[in-house]
Structure 1
């Protein structure tokens, strides 16, 4: 399970990198730039959620 979580985090980082490349800094909220911002925000949420999951699994193992 731990490797699956790390894989998901890695893919989220890859998506952020791809999305940053497609940003148009003059029109951030129009066209593909708006979609890229949504993907960046969603990827950051995935990273935060996976971090919470890893921490909660670590705490659960310590309480056994």
Structure 2
């Protein structure tokens, strides 16, 4: 499970970087930039949720 979580974090980080390069800072509300913003937000959510899951697993193992 730990390796699966780390692989999801790695994939989400890659997608985050990919979507940052697709942003057009001159026109953030253009169609392609909107898609990139949604991708950035989704990738950030995945990273945060996976880190929370890792921390909760560590706490759970510590309490056993």
TM-score of the aligned structures, taking structure 2 as reference length: 0.96
In structure 1, what is the equivalent of residue 48 of structure 2?
48
In structure 2, what is the equivalent of residue 4 of structure 1?
4
Structure 2 unaligned spans of 5+: none
Displaced runs of 4 or more, over 3 A: none
Residue 34 (structure 1) aligned with residue 16 (structure 2): no
Residue 15 (structure 1) aligned with residue 15 (structure 2): yes
Supply the RMSD in Å over aligned alpha carbons: 0.6
Structure 1 unaligned spans of 5+: none
Residue correspondences, number = 64
Alpha-carbon shift at residue 36 of structure 1 (Å): 0.2
TM-score of the aligned structures, taking structure 1 as reference length: 0.96
